[in-house]
Amino acid sequence: MDKEKLWEKAIAFHGHVCPGIAIGYQAALYAIQLLDLTFSEDEGVVCISENDACGVDAIQAILGCSVGKGNLLFHMTGKQAFSFYCRKSGKSVRLVLRQRPAGMSREESLHYIKDGEPSALFDVKETKIALPEHARLFDSYVCECCGEVTGANWIRLQGGKKLCVDCADSYNRFSV
């Protein structure tokens, strides 16, 4: 594993260097080490992030977990915590960033995180959420109001009509 290459990849994807991207970089490297992961071309690796801050970008770039593939999910708690799952082995881990020593500058923070030992940066805990099912494909329906197509799980039944979320909402607005 060429760590410097992975760091460059994360920075290129994110657009700038910051302590946040270093958190995600270290979380991804630690997950690779603990779960014996490789870049996920399909949905083999799943990440549930508890925040939508800079670090998530490193996980996308390094592990191939992405919203579009359905293997990057959010369970928002605002914590610097990430759960990783390997579908093949069934193994999982939840990494929670420890408190940093107080009084560090942004630059010191960056180096503390980027060059630190992952085991010193994160608490390793058991995942609290079961491995999510594979991303499903849903049938398509045409909204009977606007004529636009959407997936079955987004269709609302209202007055016997199949409506998209936008049209169902506008219908509600007049009744309250």
Binding-site ranges for Zn ion (CB under 5 A): 18, 20, 54, 143, 145-146, 164, 167
Query: And the tokens for 114?
Result: 């980027």
The least distance separating Zn ion from the CB of residue 34, rounded to whole angstroms, comes to 24
Strands in the chain per DSSP E? 45-49, 72-74, 81-86, 92-97, 122-125, 140-142, 149-151, 156-158, 161-163
Rg, Å, the chain Cα set:
20
Cβ distance 122 to 27 under 8 Å? yes
The least distance separating Zn ion from the CB of residue 150, rounded to whole angstroms, comes to 8
Nearer to Zn ion, 33 or 140 (CB): 140
Nearer to Zn ion, 131 or 145 (CB): 145
The least distance separating Zn ion from the CB of residue 24, rounded to whole angstroms, comes to 9
Nearer to Zn ion, 39 or 154 (CB): 154
